[in-house]
A = this chain, B = another copy of it.
Amino acid sequence: MTGATTSGELRLHNLLRLLRAAHDRGGEATRSELTRDLGLARGTAAVLVADLAEARLAQERPAPQRTRGRPTAMLGPHPEGPLALAVDLREDAWTIATAEIGGGLTVREEQPHPGNPPEAVLGDLAAAIGRYLAELGPRIVGVGVALPGPIRDGRVVDIPHLSWRDVPAVEMLSVGAPPVSLGNDAALAGLAEARRGGLRGIPVGLHLHVDFDLGGALLVDGNPLQGARGTTGEFGHMPLGGSTLRCDCGAVGCWALQVGATALLRATGTPVEPGHARAGARRVLAQADEGEPRCVAALEEVARAFGAGTAALVNALDPGRVTLSGVGARIHDQATGMFATAYRDGLMTFRREQPPPVLPAALGADATVVGAAELAFDVFLTAAGLTAWQSAH
């Protein structure tokens, strides 16, 4: 959205601004609010709303009267309007949902999958996507897919846990016309948090997602920072904790080795069974909650490393707020004191006056699907996306 250059682009640009604003506010904003906030003339707004309705992009519905004066209406999704297909592909299962303008989500399907080979997993997933395309037809304007590993140029670079390497996922998931967009799960969880969760309205926010791995995103004005090749946010692979272990990623001493499901198990001295780390970590957290000394000690150790590393990122990146999801949120919840101490001690002195708050993510487990939907809509809510829609209707 670089802005309009010609008087012809102006109309499309303002249409886009209005639709985007309606979407960002969950379809709950009234026309008068939108008109005021976007600085439009009332006449212009009338034309734009009519255009949106005629193009089946959005529709007004009655709004509860709040003050006196002529009643206004809320601008929300159109019953025949665009839908995003949002896919959350985890290590052991996938979720497919549809989202309408405004973000309203309908979960359609959840399926376990064997994990390997990638061709089979993605083939099945592509078939499922194909079914929804057939069912919902041209209303599907894009597919957003969250994946548990780094993404580059439409390919999954590396999921060590599943031994996926350089998998051309966009190619394998492209079924029909709608564009397929990939995103890292942690980054998409952050995106969701920035748009509809705890980072909403925060100019610069940091989201950290801890599970097996540790990743995240820096959200600037609600948009995730994109690296040169799209693989940014791998904060877990900086040697922030002085560890000397070798990491699966190829480097040494990665922070992710000290914070996460595997780290929790390792800290208790329990051997890590591949494929059961998540359940094991849950057990450690539960036992720590009951006061089991070894688990308490492990939790504290992990929380300390987590807090210290978070402080390092805050020092370097200066976010206004930090949100946590995955196991990370539970570690923080259950060892708040230790986390807070390590966090504070790791901050530069001048940051300690008003340290950025660290909070659990507001969206919980849904965050990743929501982020995938936002990703798909981000591709659609552009000049190109809208003109494609309009020429198809």
Contacts and interface: CB of A to CB of B under 8 A. Distances in A.
Contacts of A17: 5
Contacts of A167: none
Interface in A144-158: 150, 152, 157-158
A230 interface: yes
B13 A150 contact: no
Given A7-B10, A252-B345, A227 B315 contact: no
Interface size class of chain A, counting residues whose CB lies under 8 Å from the partner chain: 35 or more
Contact of A348 (B225, B242, B251, B317): B251
A167 to B, nearest CB: 12
A238 B237 contact: no
A3 B7 contact: no
A229 interface: yes
Interface in A197-247: 202-205, 218, 220, 225-235, 237-242
Q: How many copies does the complex hold?
A: 2
B227 A318 contact: yes
A10 to B, nearest CB: 6
A5 B14 contact: yes
Interface in A252-285: 252-253
Contact of A228 (B6, B203, B249): B203
A227 B205 CA distance: 9
Q: Which 3 A-B pairs have the closest CB atoms?
A: A3-B3, A227-B318, A250-B349
Given A3-B13, A205-B228, A238-B316, 9 more contacts: A4-B4, A10-B10, A158-B350, A204-B227, A228-B321, A250-B352, A251-B312, A251-B346, A252-B345
20 contacts: A3-B3, A3-B4, A4-B13, A5-B10, A7-B7, A158-B350, A225-B317, A227-B319, A230-B318, A232-B318, A233-B316, A234-B315, A234-B318, A238-B238, A239-B242, A239-B312, A249-B349, A250-B347, A251-B346, A252-B345
